[in-house]
A and B are shown apart, each in its own frame.
Chain A
Amino acid sequence: MLIGTVPFGFVAGVAAITAGMTPLQGIALSVLSFSGIAQLIASQLIAVDSPVIVTVAAAFVVSLRFLMYSAALSPHIAHLPRKWRTLLSYVMTDQSFAAAIRHFSAPGERRHRHWHFLGAALTLYVTWQAAVAFGVLAGASVPSAWSLDFAVVLCFIALLVPAVKSRADLAAAIVAAVVALVAAGLPYRLSLVVASIAGIAAGMAIEMKREASK
């Protein structure tokens, strides 16, 4: 997944600068939030001078998936001290979560697994911050013919494909995509919020129907 991380981080760095942030702000956003999606959404909204509350709300919606990751991960690391759990939450990403769940669910010796998670997450952290820093330095001088922003869309597709495991997941994805297209004209990227909620509702509807028919 590091292959996707480098262009994604680079684009996130470029996006911060083209949104009008200073290099220090671009790097601070990345170091503190460590979330490519949140960084990109925040950059897009800061670029159009959105009110702070709108920017934070959009970051909240795109980061809701962390709630699910957090719930799935918590039984595996509940035995660790709070300091460890805080550190692991801070460095958790889509990629490290996916790897960690596979790793924690595997049979065998359990005692040192959190070290493995931390190692993988920190590798990703360092790679990500370096890529963002390069993007911040390159700023707006990247030729648009490279279409590097498309690498970001592909990163989302790379997260979408494995997330669709059932018919209900597929319904959630299709409804969210259609609503996002229809609502694309809404200001402040509200389409994202509306589409996400519609998709989750569609997934729930299919799931409840399936339960009822059992």
Chain B
Amino acid sequence: MTVWIAIVGVSLVTFLLRASFVVFADPHRFPHRFRQALVFVPPAVMAAIAIPGLLLLHGHLDLTLANPRWIAGALAMAVGIWLRKPVAIIVSGMCALWFLQWLLG
């Protein structure tokens, strides 16, 4: 039952945030600073999720060859900045990881 409550809660939150300004409110009624802060939400949240996913292995910082993820991730990021294509990030990152795992494993 708790799981169902969590599912409904999570779904409500995602919907209400999406609908916030589109359905309910006019963004221009909110202070300039608030709208300015919103601009920094995507870079901050994405970095807070992605970077630990690359650098942490079992909860600890690991920048050695035992953790091929940060190498594959760094390569994918470089490819992404160069080619400006999201697909290139995913394809190059996965191929790099598989190759490194094969090489090291």
Q: How far is the CA of A163 from the CA of B35 in the complex (A)?
A: 16
Cβ-neighbour of A62 out of B5, B43, B45, B98 (below 8 A):
B45
B9 touches A56 (CB 8 A): yes
Q: Mark B1-30, 1 if CB is under 8 A from A, else 0.
A: 011111111110111011111110011001
Give residues 54-99 of B contacting A (CB, 8 Å).
Answer: 54-56, 59, 61, 69, 72-73, 76-77, 80-81, 84, 86-87, 89-91, 93-94, 97-98
A62 touches B38 (CB 8 A): no
Interface check B31, CB cutoff 8 A: no
B10 touches A56 (CB 8 A): yes
* Band of interface residues on B: 35 or more
Interface check B103, CB cutoff 8 A: no
Contacts of A63 in B (CB 8 A): 13-14, 17-18
Contacts of B91 in A (CB 8 A): 3
Q: How far is the CA of A156 from the CA of B94 in the complex (A)?
A: 13
Closest 9 CB pairs of A and B: A199-B44, A203-B40, A32-B11, A177-B51, A153-B53, A156-B50, A195-B48, A160-B46, A158-B86
